[in-house]
């Protein structure tokens, strides 16, 4: 139950006033917010976070976009957080993302796709560490008696 993953609510979502709507999706699903902060991504941080994409032709635009204004970083905690969060987010190309997913409902673009979510448990650990110090994450109790059966 303690699985954690990282979300980044991207500049397009802030610009369009979607932060609350996006965060609600994860709260309503039953996930706990373990940490949240606003930050300005530097070029160095962008290159580290998107190291697997630095050589792609679209990387300069991605870096410019992600460093253009503040973003909101969120650590989500709960059952199968990494996999379920990716399902809620939807595929990278928001034009093809199903309705009901965050990208499907809020974007029609491959680049301005409103949100980042870690793609595996290993990546999630690295990415949480990249954006949050241990004391910025909180271990409070969420009353989940109505969310799960006792053996789940
Ligand atoms: N991206 C882009 N053009 C592409 C592919 C990706 O601008 O053709 C951007 C997009 O913002 C995407 C991010 O690069 O969310 C990271 O790409 P990745 O393949 O890791 O997709 P994600 O994990 O975000 O679904
Ligand atoms: Mg990715």
Quote the CA–CA distance of 95 and 59 in Å, as a whole number.
Answer: 20
- Per-residue pLDDT at 1 exceeds 70: no
Which tens digits make up the pLDDT trace of 68-107? 999 999 999 999 999 999 999 999 999 999 999 999 999 9
Which tens digits make up the pLDDT trace of 128-149? 999 999 999 999 999 889 999 9
Angle in degrees, CA 22, 17, 120, rounded to 5: 30
Q: What is the domain class of 3-149 according to CATH?
A: alpha beta
**Ligand 1 atom nearest to 113, measured from its CA:** 11
Which tens digits make up the pLDDT trace of 17-75? 999 999 999 999 999 999 999 999 999 999 999 999 999 999 999 999 999 999 999 99
* Residue extents of the structural domains in the chain: 3-149
- Ramachandran class of 17: left when φ > 0, alpha when ψ lies in -120 to 50, beta otherwise: left
**Protein residue closest via CA to atom 8 of ligand 1:** 110
Pocket of ligand 1 (CB under 6 A): 53, 58, 62, 92, 110-111, 113, 116, 119
**Ligand 1 atom nearest to 65, measured from its CA:** 11
Quote the CA–CA distance of 34 and 85 in Å, as a whole number.
Answer: 14
Cα-to-chain-centroid distance, residue 54: 20
In 3D, which of 72, 63, 87, 92 has the Cα closest to residue 15? 72
| Residue 33 near residue 76 (C-beta atoms within 8 A) | yes
Helix H or strand E encompassing 121? helix 121-131
Told to judge if 116 belongs to the known catalytic residues of this protein, a careful annotator would answer: yes
Sheet with 4-9, side-by-side order of all strands: 32-39, 71-77, 4-9, 115-117
Quote the CA–CA distance of 44 and 149 in Å, as a whole number.
Answer: 44
Q: What is the pLDDT of residue 94?
A: 98
Number of H helices, E strands in the chain: 7, 4
């Amino acid at each position: 139950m303690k699985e954690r993953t990282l979300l980044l609510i991207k500049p397009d979502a802030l610009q369009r006033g979607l932060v609350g709507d996006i965060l609600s999706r994860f709260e309503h699903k039953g996930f706990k917010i373990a940490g949240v902060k606003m930050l300005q991504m530097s070029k160095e941080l962008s290159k580290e976070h998107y190291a697997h994409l630095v050589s792609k032709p679209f990387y300069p635009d991605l870096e410019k976009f992600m460093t253009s204004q503040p973003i909101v970083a969120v650590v989500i905690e709960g059952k199968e957080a990494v996999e379920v969060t990716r399902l809620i987010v939807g595929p990278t190309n928001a034009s093809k993302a199903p309705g009901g997913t965050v990208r499907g409902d809020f974007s029609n673009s491959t680049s301005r796709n409103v949100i980042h979510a870690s793609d595996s448990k290993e990546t999630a650990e690295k990415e949480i560490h990249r954006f949050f110090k241990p004391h910025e994450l909180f271990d409070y109790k969420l009353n989940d008696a109505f969310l799960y059966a006792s053996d789940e």
